[in-house]
Structure 1
Amino acid sequence: MSTICWTEAGTSCTAGWHSENAAPPPLRVVVADDSTKADTAYRLACEGTALLWRGDFHNARQLMQAMARRIDRKAPRGGGSPAESFHLHRRARRHRARVLGRLLVRLDVGHGLDLRRAPDVREACAEAYGPPSGPTAVSLTELLGVIGAHEWRRRGVEVPALGARVHPHYGVFSPVRGEYVDLVAQAPLPGGAVAFDLGTGTGVLAAVLAKRGMARVVATDISARALACARENVRRLGFADRIDVADPGLFPAGRANLVVCNPPWLPGRPNSTVEQGVYDADGVMLRSFLTGLAVHLEPGGEGWLVLSDLAEHLGLRSRADLLALIEAAGLEVVGRLDTAPRHPRARDAADPLHAARARETTSLWRLAVR
């Protein structure tokens, strides 16, 4: 584990460094507390200096919000084309994440947080990080994400298509956008009893397929966290006898009558662990699904590609590009179901990408071997 070093009360101190986003440990760390002004914290963080918080926990959150306001005031406003606007927005989000990520807290040997008015974060940190390995510094923004994920995991997310809740783990994309789940619940099933769910995440689509009557569903993911999450949800929902959560990978061995894939919808580099469910650099998962589908389908089987067209409205991928990928893979489109997004951002006129989001359609493409 990497370490960070700082001086406190005339004493040299060290702690382990942990970053889910693989950010390198800061080279310079100073102590900050309730007397630290937002302008000072913002300037130091922009210069690359990390601030290890030693004051009141709620004051740390207020300081972070004040720093965020200063960042947002200086953020660029739009671009010429939708693609330029998107790239400006992503660059601004990366800068925001870097600066705010320099406000740190120290977890003790048991994942405890020794700050005034601090919540008990031990269970949340154990879920996200595993067993503690000594005092560790993490960014406050990451810790708040860990706390939020713990609450999502505890309460779960209602899935009307299942009539039940699924419980996402930290770093696993939550099925809060229910329209894609509804598409899988409504599309006409091909004949046969075996289905693959590629990139299963929480296992929600595998569960929907099992509830619809598929006798055997094999769920895959490249993320160990997602696989653990899916196994837990499969057990909770009572489908352990019909859903097999496989080892890490994309396609499992063998063939299926139905192969379902809901890849990240936008080509781009994710800024955080959870963004891996939204952004896929160079569209690797989309291409891998399409190129590998034909050899994993039983005769007469179908592949279901669940995909938003937001990338098209942002100028990141054209409809012609998508159709060319489908054709090059030896596939044809035998049907498509469309739905409009229902999430709040689609109606948020203040969102920098509102013009594209307002036109977004989510589709389930039914694909077969030509």
Structure 2
Amino acid sequence: MTTDPNQFVFPTVTWRDDAGEHSARWRSEAAVPAPKRIVPADDRTSADAAYRLASEGTALLWRGDFQNARQLLQAMTRRIERKPRKQPASPIDAFNAHRQAQAQRARTLGMLLIPLEADYSIALRRAPEVKDACREVYGEAAQGAQASVVSLRELLGLIGAHEWRKKGVEIGALGARIHPHYGVFSPVRGEYVDLVARAPLPTHTLAFDIGAGTGVLAALLAKRGVARVVATDTDARALACARENVARLGLSGQVQVIEADLFPPGRAPLVVCNPPWLPARPSSPIERAVYDPASGMLRGFLDGLAAHLEPRGEGWLILSDFAEHLGLRSRDALLAMIDAAGLKVIARDDIRPVHPKAVDPSDPLHRARAAEVTSLWRLGAK
């Protein structure tokens, strides 16, 4: 493998076939390192051979029928799922084993690669049209751009995200659809939205939404009658997504979306935050909406809240106790963070999640998921 001068952004991968040596740009939105060895594969490649090569760290560049590549990926997935799992001794052992298995699964299944032409077309039989999906994630293809390769698994994720972005997610409490962008946490788990929809508003003048994501909570606050909402985020995709959703809903006059690390300037009578729920290190940029290393965003919100609340104002912390059931953070530790930040608990509203994994006994984290409760903590300065 060689790399071009922009190696940290666009590594270049090489491989050989009967026609000689070839190279292309490596693409990975999950920041997966470029594979060191690539071999051609096509419709004659068996699932057993593909799985063996992928498990050994050899990537397969597909040259056959696109739909057959999808079937091969499914066959490789079945081989992974056949492997017996040891029963972990504790919830945290189960969590660590689950993450390790998911990482190994992603590495193995990510070894089946698809070639993209410079304009994002796929020159394979029965290949779908993916140009729009690719442009939404990669940007417009530059003039003179190089052909690239991407894992089929990631490409299917791009296609799925494109479809979700087009049709949107129905939000009952909002009475409208939110259209998530690729890499922005989709509000498919609606319980946290329902909590914000039913909590008593301490103000109708101004609210801050910290970590806006798709903009769903900012839009909901505006729909509930808050005259001005300032929503913040640091992620470029989230900022673009929130602004698009706010505009689509006709709320641009009420909601301002700005780039800021946690809090905007000033104080507000209501400050809302729905941070990532699990204090663990993300294994890819896309996981940052789920994992909060060392509870960094949670601590930052709590530690800065009192300085950004108006007198008698409220901070709304929306947080699942999933981490508590996994042994990653205790309730006492959370309460100690709140107290150390000069805050007090005014009230708490709880709701149980209703997503499919909560009732799936085959899920390796089922015990923790079945006990999970999502809470809206109403906090005030001491």
Q: Does 1:59 align with 2:68?
A: yes
SS of structure 2 residue aligned to 1:358: helix
SS of structure 2 residue aligned to 1:275: helix
Residue aligning to 1:291: 303
Q: Does 1:43 align with 2:55?
A: no
Runs of 4+ in 1 over 6 A off after TM superposition: none
Q: Does 1:325 align with 2:342?
A: no
**TM-aligned CA deviation for residue 270 of structure 1:** 2.3
SS of structure 2 residue aligned to 1:225: helix
Q: Does 1:126 align with 2:132?
A: no
Q: How does 1:260-299 map to 2 (within 5 A)?
A: 260-299=272-311
- The AA in structure 2 aligned to 1:243 is V
Query: What is the alpha-carbon distance in structure 1 between the residues aligned to residue 279 and residue 47 of structure 2?
Result: 35
Query: What is the alpha-carbon distance in structure 2 between the residues aligned to residue 297 and residue 251 of structure 1?
Result: 11
**TM-aligned CA deviation for residue 252 of structure 1:** 1.0
Q: Deviations over 1:314-343 (max 9, x none)?
A: 111110010000001000000000011011
Query: What is the alpha-carbon distance in structure 1 between the residues aligned to residue 295 and residue 76 of structure 2?
Result: 34
**TM-aligned CA deviation for residue 273 of structure 1:** 3.9
- The AA in structure 2 aligned to 1:237 is L
Identical-pair percentage:
64
Go from structure 1 to structure 2 and tell me whether the alpha carbon gap of 1:104 and 1:248 turns closer, same or farther (over 3 Å shift). Answer: farther
Whether the aligned pair in 2 keeps the contact of 1:227 and 1:248 (CA below 8 Å) is no
SS of structure 2 residue aligned to 1:276: helix
Query: What is the alpha-carbon distance in structure 1 between the residues aligned to residue 270 and residue 138 of structure 2?
Result: 35
Greater shift, 65-74 or 32-41, is seen at 65-74
- The AA in structure 2 aligned to 1:82 is P
Residue aligning to 1:140: 152
**TM-aligned CA deviation for residue 72 of structure 1:** 2.2
Q: How does 1:1-370 map to 2 (within 5 A)?
A: 1-74=10-83, 76-132=85-141, 133-191=145-203, 193-370=205-382
Whether the aligned pair in 2 keeps the contact of 1:179 and 1:339 (CA below 8 Å) is yes
Q: Deviations over 1:144-191 (max 9, x none)?
A: 000000000000000111110010000001000111001001101113
**TM-aligned CA deviation for residue 192 of structure 1:** 5.2
SS of structure 2 residue aligned to 1:367: strand
- The AA in structure 2 aligned to 1:53 is W
Q: Deviations over 1:214-250 (max 9, x none)?
A: 1110111121000000000000001000100002422
Q: CA RMSD in A?
A: 1.1
Which 5+ residue runs of structure 2 have no aligned equivalent?
Answer: 1-9
- The AA in structure 2 aligned to 1:346 is A
Whether the aligned pair in 2 keeps the contact of 1:76 and 1:88 (CA below 8 Å) is no
- The AA in structure 2 aligned to 1:279 is Y
**TM-aligned CA deviation for residue 113 of structure 1:** 1.1
Whether the aligned pair in 2 keeps the contact of 1:202 and 1:229 (CA below 8 Å) is yes
**TM-aligned CA deviation for residue 83 of structure 1:** 0.6
Query: What is the alpha-carbon distance in structure 1 between the residues aligned to residue 92 and residue 16 of structure 2?
Result: 45
TM-score normalised by length of structure 1: 0.98
**TM-aligned CA deviation for residue 271 of structure 1:** 3.2
- The AA in structure 2 aligned to 1:321 is A
Residue aligning to 2:3: none
Greater shift, 272-281 or 291-300, is seen at 272-281
